[in-house]
Amino acid sequence: MRSYLVLSPDENADPEKLRFICDGFSWLALIFGPFWLLANRVWMAGLLTLLASVILAVAGGFEHLAFATGAASLALNLFIALEARGWKAHAMEKRGWQLRDVIVASGIDEAEELYFSSTERDTGPSFTVPGLAET
């Protein structure tokens, strides 16, 4: 089960404009690191991690630092992969998007179904777990 953040551009947004962001590890962010962040408009984190990657690449040119900079570079990309989607959601919120809900589901289709089947959308963010009985 994964958690999905539901973001909307404004209070009365068209359902087609809602964004469902899976909160978790991103393989593309692991591989492309800072470029994934920049492509997803997470400017500050993208630029800072790009600068760190360039510094590590330059330091890796020194033979006695090669192993340490390689390990640090791998650690940086793992950190980016773990945090990238959260940074993306935070950047969207800073641009005016609103967190509407957090849904736990096995996939994006189930998350969308759970979100749109609920009739209580005006109460603010809630935490929805499928399969638990309402009491």
Digit-coded pLDDT (tens) for 19-71: 999 999 999 999 999 999 999 999 999 999 999 999 999 999 999 999 999 99
Distance separating alpha carbons of residues 54 and 66, to the nearest angstrom: 14
Confidence (pLDDT) at 73: 96
Confidence (pLDDT) at 13: 77
Does the pLDDT of residue 128 top 90, yes or no? no
Say if 134 falls within a structural domain: no
Confidence (pLDDT) at 130: 62
Say if 55 falls within a structural domain: yes
The mean predicted confidence, pLDDT, of the chain is: 89
Say if 33 falls within a structural domain: yes
Distance separating alpha carbons of residues 13 and 18, to the nearest angstrom: 7
Q: pTM for the full model?
A: 0.78
- Domain count along the chain: 1
Q: Which domain does 77 fall in, by range?
A: 2-128
Say if 122 falls within a structural domain: yes
30 bridge partner residues: none
Confidence (pLDDT) at 87: 95
Q: Are 42 and 88 in contact (CB under 8 A)?
A: yes
Residues 6+ apart with CB under 8 A from 87: 37, 42, 45
Among residues 85, 118, 83, 82, the alpha carbon closest in space to that of 100 is found at 118
Say if 135 falls within a structural domain: no
Half-sphere exposure of 34 (CA within 13 A, CB side): 15
